[in-house]
């Protein structure tokens, strides 16, 4: 089961903080010689926060979103960047409020069928019953995992 801590509002008037973007992909296999490859500058706030007044952070607790597919895996302790201004679509990772509790899951929406899916196969899909209340709180734009 995954729990969420938050929401913590993003700083809507954060000072720009553009950091150098190196213009080459870092090989995960054999090293490549380094050079002066600074290509641009990137401000992570501008890249991931398009609606500052509607953007919040959450911290994930639990392993229900851990996947064997690295690009889909959201580990325990990850920081979620959640945008409430985006309309949730099928297959989006969302922060939902299910019966009054926050959870992060992948949204399954096909026709009248609505479910919340974990990435971890140990967790069964949450298919909503008639007596349950669900609100999609926001759409996860990105997640950050600290390496140390």
pLDDT per position as a tens digit, 94-108: 999 999 999 999 999
- Is 107 in contact with 88 (CB distance < 8 Å)? yes
> Which range (82-86, 109-113, 133-137) has the least confidence?
109-113
The single residue of 32, 67, 105, 147 carrying the catalytic annotation is 105
For 29, 66, 96, 111, the CA distances from 101, given in Å and listed in that order, are: 42, 20, 8, 25
The single residue of 2, 32, 64, 113 carrying the catalytic annotation is 64
pTM of the model: 0.82
User: What tokens does 144 get?
Assistant: 């950050």
| pLDDT for the residue 51 | 92
pLDDT at 32 over 80: no
Mean pLDDT of 25-49: 76
pLDDT at 34 over 70: no
- Is 42 in contact with 19 (CB distance < 8 Å)? yes
Give the whole-angstrom CA distance, residue 23 versus residue 35: 10
Reduced to 3 states (helix: H, G, I; strand: E, B; else coil), residue 100 is coil
DSSP structure string for 86-135: SPP-TT-EEEEEETTEEEEEEEEEETTEEEEE-SSTTS--EEPPTT--EE
Burial 19-53 (b: 16+ CB within 10 A, else e): eeeeeeeeeeeeeeeeeeeeeeeeeebeeebeebe
Please confirm, yes or no, whether 105 is among the known catalytic residues. yes
| pLDDT for the residue 19 | 73
């Amino acid at each position: 089961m995954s729990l969420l801590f938050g929401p913590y509002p993003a700083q809507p008037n954060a000072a720009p903080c553009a950091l150098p973007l190196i213009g080459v992909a870092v090989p995960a296999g054999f090293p490549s010689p380094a050079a002066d490859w600074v290509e641009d500058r990137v401000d992570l706030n501008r890249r991931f926060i398009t609606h500052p007044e509607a953007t919040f952070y959450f911290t994930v607790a639990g392993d229900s979103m851990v996947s064997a597919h690295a690009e889909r895996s959201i580990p325990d302790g990850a920081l979620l960047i959640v945008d409430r201004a985006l309309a949730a679509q099928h297959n989006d990772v969302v922060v939902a409020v299910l019966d009054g509790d926050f959870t992060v899951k992948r949204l399954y929406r096909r026709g009248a069928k609505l479910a919340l899916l974990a990435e971890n196969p140990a967790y069964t899909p949450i298919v909503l019953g008639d007596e349950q209340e669900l609100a999609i709180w926001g759409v996860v734009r990105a997640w950050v995992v600290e390496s140390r």
